[in-house]
Structure formats: structure tokens, C-alpha cells
Amino acid sequence: DALSAFDPPADVVAALRAAGCVFAEEEARLRLGEAATPDELADMVGRRAGGLPLEQVVGWAEFCGLRIAVDPGVFVPRARTELMVPEAVGGAGGATPIVVDLCCGSGAVGLAVIATLGAGELHAVDIDPAAVRCAHRNVVEAGVGSVHEGDLYEPLPEELRGRVDVLLANTPYVPSGAIALLPREARDYEPRLALDGGADGLDIQRRVAARAREWLAPGGHLLGETSEDQAAQARADYARAGLSTRVAHADDLEATVVVGSAPAT
């Protein structure tokens, strides 16, 4: 941390700015705080200048006030996804709600929900082995819950069927044809399977919705992040699966969450 006591060196700031980093000074200070030696700092700056997402360079991201470990090649949690947390917490029932985080990536959303609730049983799921390893560090090693590797509901313990209070589904929702328009750091350094949602971006969300009632407890809730333009179609998909629906939106986060609720009885 001795390095962070000084203003960022001009060459570090210049290298980051030349790489297109909008907040070059702030990023430089963050790296100074993380790097133990000048050589480590130089390596971090080089990786960031090469396009690696900041969070993958420093090894963590802030999400809902939590420090979440983020490994290279793992989807970086976005600030807009924070809207899912209060929406999930508001619908959680019981003293120890069961929370399932599908397509969990680093596990950030499920962790934030459990941290906000102060109690609960968390099961995080991802099909990507790199994400599972990262989520294991955040969830299992912290003693917060369990992580399962597999396709959506496939690896969940059978005893959870019909008992899930909160089903989080931050699935990929970028239409396949729009992947090329994403920022370079997402397009080149985050896994495509964490971004590509098919022709209209909702293919995986539909698969989640189609089986949600099998796993939700009576009155349980499914929450899925979408774009604002996709919300109407997502609501229709949820309704087709037997869920009542509503949409939450936050202008400040540019965030949209579709909420589907199972019948209470």
C-alpha cells in the first residue's frame, strides 16, 4: 500500500488514457493501492492497457457494497444489476429463505441478497467452470452457501424442488447480432456464453421461466434482468409459464428487472 500514498505517476495515467480508460487517474490510484511492487503495477497497467476489464486486473469488483472476487475470464458484475437485490429482498419470505442464483458468474447477486437479508440458504449455479471456481471462492469459502456446476436447474439438489423463495436469473440477454457492438473489454475478455442470449436476447430467460414453477415455493419469485425494450416480451414469456408479472425499472442505474411470482397456493 506504500505505492498508493503518492499521486499516480504521469506515465501510468498516460498509458491508461491512451488505452481509452475514461477515468485514468482513478484507475491508476486503484492500481497503486493493489500493487505490492512497481513491477506488479507495471504488469497491471499493461494488462489493462491491453483491454482487460479493470475488475479482472485488480481481481475484484464492488457490488452492493461488497467486495466480490472476479477472476480473468469471468463475467464482471454490473452496477445496473444491483436493482435485482432490493427487488429480491422485498419478496423473500420466511426466516431462512431459499435463494437460487442461476447463471451466477462470480456469485455477486446471490451474495448481495443473502448479505442484505442477513440469513438464508444460497445455491449458486453456472455452466462455466471458470465462473464456478470464482463463485466457490466468494460463496463456499466464505461459508455463505453452495455452488453447483451445470445447465440451469440441472445440478440443483432435488430437495429444493417446489421450495425456492427467490430465483435470481441474471441470464445472458444481449441479442446475438449485437455482440459485435459491445465494448471491447466485454466482447474480448468476458465469455460469450455469459453475454449471448440468442436471436432476441431472451432464449435462456425463456428456458428459466418455463420451469420456474417446478422450483418456486408457493408465492415465490423469479427475477430476471433484461433491457427496457425486452421487458414486454419477457413478461409475456413469464405469463405463459404461469407466473404473474411486473416490471421494476431504475433510471439512475439504467436497469430493468422483470419479476414473476408463483401462485401463493
Separation of CA 258 from chain center: 15
Kindly state the average pLDDT of the residues 164-191: 91
Please give the span between the terminal C-alpha atoms of the chain, in angstroms, as a whole number.
Answer: 56
Backbone angles phi, psi at 250, to 5 degrees: -130, 110
Cβ-based neighbours of 65, under 8 Å, separated by 6 or more: none
The more confident residue out of 107 and 142 is 107
Cell digits of residue 39: 513491477
Q: Which alpha helices (DSSP H) does the chain contain, by range?
A: 10-18, 24-34, 38-49, 54-58, 84-91, 108-117, 129-135, 184-189, 203-215, 231-240
Kindly state the average pLDDT of the residues 82-94: 91
Kindly state the average pLDDT of the residues 95-117: 96
User: Three-state SS for 224?
Assistant: strand
- Beta-sheet pairing, 60-63 with 66-69: antiparallel
Q: Which single residue is written with the C-alpha cell 476489464?
A: 53
Q: Which single residue is written with the C-alpha cell 472476479?
A: 70
4 pLDDT more than 70: no
Cα 207 to Cα 152, 202, 210, 252, distances in angstroms:
9, 9, 5, 29
Place 42 in a pLDDT band, splitting at 50, 70 and 90: low
What pLDDT is stored for residue 3 in this prediction? 40
What pLDDT is stored for residue 17 in this prediction? 57
Cβ-based neighbours of 17, under 8 Å, separated by 6 or more: 24
142 pLDDT more than 80: yes
Question: Per-residue b/e over 214-233, b at no fewer than 16 CB within 10 Å?
Answer: ebbbeebbbbbbbbeebbeb
The amino acid at residue 114 is I
CB atoms within 10 A of CB 263: 12
C-alpha–C-alpha distance, residues 143 and 26, integer Å: 33
Chain-wide mean pLDDT for the chain?
86
Number of residues written out for the chain: 265
30 pLDDT more than 80: no
CB atoms within 10 A of CB 154: 10
What are the residues facing 223 on neighbouring strands?
Answer: 168, 259
Kindly state the average pLDDT of the residues 170-182: 94
Closest CA to 113 of 128, 96, 129: 96
Closest CA to 256 of 216, 219, 213, 225: 225
Q: What is the pLDDT of residues 46-87, one digit of tens each?
A: 666 666 667 777 788 889 999 999 998 899 999 999 999 999
209 pLDDT more than 50: yes
Please state at what angle helix 231-240 crosses helix 203-215, rounded to 10 degrees.
Answer: 40
Q: Which alpha helices (DSSP H) does 126-190 contain, by range?
A: 129-135, 184-189
What pLDDT is stored for residue 1 in this prediction? 42
